[in-house]
Structure 1
Amino acid sequence: MTTPRGARGAVPRHDDRRRSFPQVAPRDAPDGRFAATWWGNAWVEALEDTALDPARLARGKAYAGRGHVDAITVTPGRVVAYVHGSRPRPYRTEIRMRTLGDEGWERFLDEATARPEHIAALLDKDVPHALEAITGLLPAPGDLVPDCSCPDDGYPCKHAAALCYQAARLLDEDPFVLFLMRGRGEQELLAELTRRNAALSAAETTAAAPPMPTVPARAVFDAAERAVLPLPPPLPAPDRPGRPAVFPPDPDAPDPLALDLLASEAAVRAHAFLTTGHDPVAALTPWQDAVRLAAAHPGSGLTASTRALYRDLAYALDRTPTDLARAVAAWRQGGAAGLAVLEEPWDPPAGPFDRARPALIAADFPAFRPWRNRLSTESLQLRLGRDGLWYGYESDAGREDWWPRGAPDHDPVGALTDLLGR
């Protein structure tokens, strides 16, 4: 006889993508901060950076501290709870955020299984900075969208702020709650990590390195009086750079993300020098190297980790984060040559520059004003680089706030067409 669904004795079906948490008890966080972990505080910062009214945030934090937030339910892209306010009936409050796409999860899983220490950290309910930096798991300002049944139209209202603060405490206790918010359940992730780790271990065992050449000890002693035996041939260079150590967070130590980034950079440069005899970074100035580092880092200054990276690099070189963000856009457009086009106007000789304006007019583009190596309208600009390429720039009309856009091209019409997306 089949047991009806919901009948006594039936085994409930586990839903890995829905978790409910009882009311979080009020507690004090270290250093006066609401959350205790770096990722919990990054979640809070995403809320506070976009809030329009600090007073509502303060009331929301007080509501959370006094336990006004009931049980919290988390599903992909949504955090929901009832929050008690000044009226007897609680308000239904939720925080929405986008889920991570398949490509983002692939990056997360690949990076997590590439380094055993990352898997160990996740099993210990810890989130390595490198994983967050690569996949952008934590929300950036504007990613958290509050909604509440109360009549307050604040962004966010105090009830939504209270829910967000309490959600940070859930993240403190279990970072897999963050993964669920982004779209994947704990058991689903652990199963996939286990599968990939087993496949990677099997592949590494199959492709084990050949044994190191050796010299028999007896032959060395027997020949010591006669001749010096030649040394074994040097080991072959590894296929890829080595992985740096993991740097645990310590309030008295440098930023672990910065250490990980610099160690990874050192490993890549050492591998390039070992295999080619050339260090591609040695000729760069400190500013060019800072721009290169920031340009190679995912997130473009939008996540909490990349905002900190941009801030620290800019401060060290007496620049602003906006200066660095603009320079990163130029570097991604054309490398060191693109950065030079951004920062170094010059007087090109007659020839390609003089032929550019007639070519643009013939292609039905508006008339451009020349100045040194630049052709400009109110909102579009082409810059001729010393490498003979044309680089596209855009600005709001009437403002001299030019940002690199599009791909460089030997043909000014081609560069402008790419800039406009025609």
Structure 2
Amino acid sequence: PRASREGVGFAETWWGNAWVAALEGGALDVKRLARGRGYAGRGQVDAITVTPGLVLAYVRGSRPRPYRVQVRLRTLGDADWERFLDAAADRPGHIAALLDKELPQSLADCGVPLLPGPGDLAPRCSCPDSGHPCKHAAALCYQTARLLDADPFVLLLLRGRGERELLDALSRLSAARAARAAREQGPAPLPGVRASDAFAPRRLPPLPPPLPTPPHPEQPPVYPAAPGGPDPFALDQLATDAAARAHALLGTGRDPVGELTLWQDAVRLAAARPGSGLTAGTRALYASLASAAGRTPAELARAVAAWRQGGLDGLTVLEEPWDPPAGRFDRARPLLLAADLPAFRPWRNRLTHPSGHVQLRLGREGLWYAYESEAGQDDWWPRGTPDLDPVGALTGLGTPDDL
């Protein structure tokens, strides 16, 4: 009896199922087909090789040694391939579909027998079963349908031509057709306007007036805390800072911090954190900003102290010693001696107390910045308020006797 069509559906694509239909339409025994489907489903088909006109594999059956199975399919002649290439090049969508591993129905209906029909598959197996096909050959055919699902170029290779050869031929054919069409069409008129029209004087309407700058930046929304989420206070601080910068840019056309380096901006943001002392939230913020800038939290804390002392100029005094010209720096030592202070040791822009616990640093803008350290240790921290007078910069650091 003829085989039923219950195996259609074993494949997923319409062309894969067409292959299954050709197998089952030419089979003589439904039971052999069912066993072949079981073999394919259990992965008993190994080492499949596809060449023009032939699928070869080894199928594990009931015996220890697998059976050698092959299925032959007639290859197409040159005339059929020319017809196929013409049909594929007629529509750009055909080539795009093939590259996406799809076989358009319209391409399969171009008059070229791509898909096999009942009786077109010629199986052969090394087993003693004389069925047509035997269960091993049926298993190979079912597994081949899955190969066709994944790549329709397997079917084209079985019909005689491989993927690279076909794509190269399609590329050449498409290029030749495009060149022929361009020659037949002739040059297209160039778009444009006459030069006299382009350079003719004309009055443009005035630009609309700019919108008024809002009186102040808006407040950011309230950010709820979430377990494992970002610090809501840090989000509020960043949003407030962004709003203030946007407001300044809108009103003046200049970003007040646009020229800062990553490190300087990290110091500025950390210094804007209100309050004093390293709370848990502040420590988390310092650790995050320091990591982003490639520094340590201790370095950031010292830089924040310098920023709070004098802004960007204060940070520059902390990090960049320089050689001041004669004048204000040279007059500082007599002023200190007149205030009953000992002779400070000079080095570049710095004057250091002989005991090594107080230091004055001259900024490039002419202000003196006071620093303190434990006696005998080179661990200087900014203290006090900058002043044009070196003695005034030491105000609040202790009496002359203490110094």
Query: Which TM-score tier does this pair reach, normalised by the shorter chain?
Result: 0.3 to 0.5
Report the TM-score when normalising by structure 2.
Answer: 0.45
Report the TM-score when normalising by structure 1.
Answer: 0.43
- Higher Rg of the two aligned structures: 2
